[in-house]
Structure 1
């Protein structure tokens, strides 16, 4: 704990009052109430980030990357395909790496030295796709007649195969899988019979078959909050399905809106932003773009922008899979490697970093097949077809640390970055949710992490050396505070690291407040 936090001790309520009054009112807590009561005009504003800066030195990156640092590289199994990630209950992260001959599982406790804890040989196939649900890993393949394999990760350093071929009597081959972990429903797409839907919640080892959707061939999909965002590759369309009825009797899937994807052909994968307002798709063709859609009207999605990785240097390069985390796109782009781009303004995507795993020519199906950008630690894993696993750390991901403090009803507020913190980003913001509605609050921004306990309230930003910046704000009727934080273009802020936390007046919380975990972000030049 001492290595992780710069400051760790228990403070008295008097010390907290001294901090919250910014040492201006002699420790009088009424000043904090004054901030909450009069700060409504600041709810959608942010003091210049330069006021909170703690400048740190940087180093030049290799020519094959920008704003992405390579941590490790592992190549043990010949040729590879997709990858995914698993996080154990104790927080240890694992890479799930598909190969043409099986599944490799690697412990990433030290991301600079991954350790393979299991390799499970399977039917030989160019295609293998992987997803997780609770402590289980699900693997599908285009190899005929082998079904879906299921692995138990309850003891993650000793994984076990617990089902060697679910669904063999239902379908012959399967291209891809997505699991709605909130609802416990698996969607197996690209099969010879359509999209197979199964319930994994009741019995993860032996899922219950629910239905088969027999519309246009679905190559890949993302399911979130009752909507499936599907890529219909052969008709080149992005399509939204209502899947809230898959457990009905009989099960029901409803077609909503669709739109032609940009590019000439092959809408390959699709992914929605967390707020369900926007989505992205890739076109797996030479020079194919990423399409960005406004989907606030699910019956009429609209294409509003396109994005290409390295369009001048590699106009014929092929994109593969794209994902969204905190309004930042993460894409595996075959010969152009891993690309990350800001979508805080979805109609104006901006590339902010890359790591190229392929040194050959910029065309064809070589290089980075997959990426997984969802680890809590902020690392990203890449799967290169020829050279295996890469573990990288992009500057475009903000990471959480420390503990949150629950308030009324056991609700612990959350805070996420909204976009990439690149210099000159006019749309960057911090987004608070799950807080007490219609309540005053304060954003704390400083130059060091902290771990200060005040009567059960955890403060995750160093309060005394250096002193942080306080910004009064408040939550709306849904318990949300969206704090706009446009980042100055000043080069003096490059590689500045900031630590932040949002505290909410909440009588149900410790010391009369609730609080988010800490959020660490790096300001950087794109």
Structure 2
């Protein structure tokens, strides 16, 4: 049984142990990782505040092709990195706010959809992109602000089909944390908002990691909390850690969990602050056992976003670029590689490597530098983590054939039969415009009048009652 812990009775002893026996010392001979390719658009303007043209990095695969995502002041860019030495922009999506006010964007994947948010501008929206038809096309199936228009970060609990929003703002106000049902990937539904996490009343949640209803919440200046959201009406605290209750505490920024759930690495976004490595193998005795320092001047280095595989921690370390640590022995982690994306002088601001995505099947790393764009770097492993993989061409087309679509091609009407397991039907034009939408009740067959549709290719999307997306091309003559 998981228990909420009392930190105070072991904090001071733990600090002394960590300080004297588990400080990580930098190896000056750490090898530089191999650069495979780069993408940059010099016409994209930098933000007014930090001059960052770019922000977050992300990645996914469709039909065995690998794609990187990088956010920008314009919007976000899908880069085909299948041939990492020849990356190219497959498409770009303009954000609701698309100007020099933009600093932050964030992205997540769920069932062949990419979710995108921005934390600046009242014109911003939640954008949901169906990528199932790449490389041919992708289209926005949701681009609205009715639920919220700003969020600093987002996370998807894949197994539960839930979207968590950090520092969310909508027309009714500001919320520390939001929770949405995305069983239907293109139609999110609000579950609730939260700001109380055990003994922490959070002004905001800066970022979170969630797996099977257990949420690791980075609450900025209010500390860190682990919460059980299995009961969404009454989430339960499992562990809390307030500022000054741990060594090198600061602005609690972000963190990531290993696939086995036994190691968590947390970043406080402060100059001169290392990352903290938690041992979670015993929930009755959660503790910080070591620290990760960049291969540089430790008084000025500042960590940003950590991501973890079974063996390695991948850190976007601002001015210090990409840093990769072996964390198999969490008590004595070692820096095993780095790549210097940035040449900016560290003047105690925020420049350089913003984000890294290490979970592509090839093992290649996507790194986003705020000023220099996307770097594709050769990674040290083929990661053990689940891959954001959408394979529409084989598996899903076999399933859609269970539902009969005829005639093919069609002209003045389109018939669809065997709909008992289908929740809704959508048809999009080849440029992503919604042409037809129908939420089903008990119908097993429908006929769609298509007499006023133009000739050409359309995308038929069927969403099952279990939330699965079935998609294929159809042609009107």
TM-score by length of 2: 0.65
Q: Note if 1:142 corresponds to 2:119.
A: yes
- Among residues 128, 134, 153, which one is paired with 2:131 in the alignment? 153
1:196-235 to structure 2, matched below 5 A, reads 196-201=178-183, 203-215=184-196, 216=202, 217-235=204-222
Q: Alignment RMSD, CA only?
A: 2.1
Q: 1:94: which partner in 2?
A: 67
Does the CA-based 8 Å contact 2:126-2:148 persist in structure 1?
no
Deviations 1:220-266 (CA, angstroms, capped at 9, x unpaired): 1111133111111112x2321112223xxxx3321111224542411
- Among residues 101, 115, 120, which one is paired with 2:88 in the alignment? 115
Q: 1:445: which partner in 2?
A: none
Q: 1:244: which partner in 2?
A: 230
Residues 64 and 160 of structure 1: is their aligned pair in 2 closer, same or farther, counting only changes over 3 Å? farther
Q: Note if 1:350 corresponds to 2:334.
A: yes
1:474-493 to structure 2, matched below 5 A, reads none
Residues 336 and 396 of structure 1: is their aligned pair in 2 closer, same or farther, counting only changes over 3 Å? farther
* Cα deviation, residue 310, structure 1: 1.7
Q: Structure 2, unaligned stretches of length 5 or more?
A: 1-27, 46-52, 169-173, 197-201, 386-477
Aligned partners of 2:328, 2:166: CA distance in 1, in Å? 30
Aligned partners of 1:64, 1:184: CA distance in 2, in Å? 44
Deviations 1:431-490 (CA, angstroms, capped at 9, x unpaired): xxxxxxxxxxxxxxxxxxxxxxxxxxxxxxxxxxxxxxxxxxxxxxxxxxxxxxxxxxxx
* Cα deviation, residue 291, structure 1: 0.5
Matched position secondary structure for 2:150? coil
Aligned partners of 1:169, 1:385: CA distance in 2, in Å? 30
Aligned partners of 2:332, 2:94: CA distance in 1, in Å? 44
Q: Note if 1:380 corresponds to 2:361.
A: no
Residues 395 and 244 of structure 1: is their aligned pair in 2 closer, same or farther, counting only changes over 3 Å? same
Aligned partners of 1:366, 1:173: CA distance in 2, in Å? 23
TM-score by length of 1: 0.60
- Among residues 18, 25, 33, which one is paired with 1:68 in the alignment? 33
Aligned partners of 2:246, 2:161: CA distance in 1, in Å? 29
Q: 1:339: which partner in 2?
A: 323
1:87-486 to structure 2, matched below 5 A, reads 87-88=61-62, 90-122=63-95, 123-124=97-98, 125-145=102-122, 146-157=124-135, 158-165=137-144, 168-191=145-168, 192-201=174-183, 203-215=184-196, 216=202, 217-235=204-222, 237-246=223-232, 251-259=233-241, 260=245, 262-298=247-283, 300-311=285-296, 313-362=297-346, 363-397=348-382
> How many positions carry a matched residue from both structures?
328
Matched position secondary structure for 1:87? strand
Q: Structure 1, unaligned stretches of length 5 or more?
A: 1-62, 401-526
Residues 241 and 253 of structure 1: is their aligned pair in 2 closer, same or farther, counting only changes over 3 Å? same
* Cα deviation, residue 102, structure 1: 0.1
Aligned partners of 2:29, 2:327: CA distance in 1, in Å? 23
Q: 1:449: which partner in 2?
A: none
* Cα deviation, residue 353, structure 1: 0.2
Does the CA-based 8 Å contact 2:267-2:306 persist in structure 1?
yes
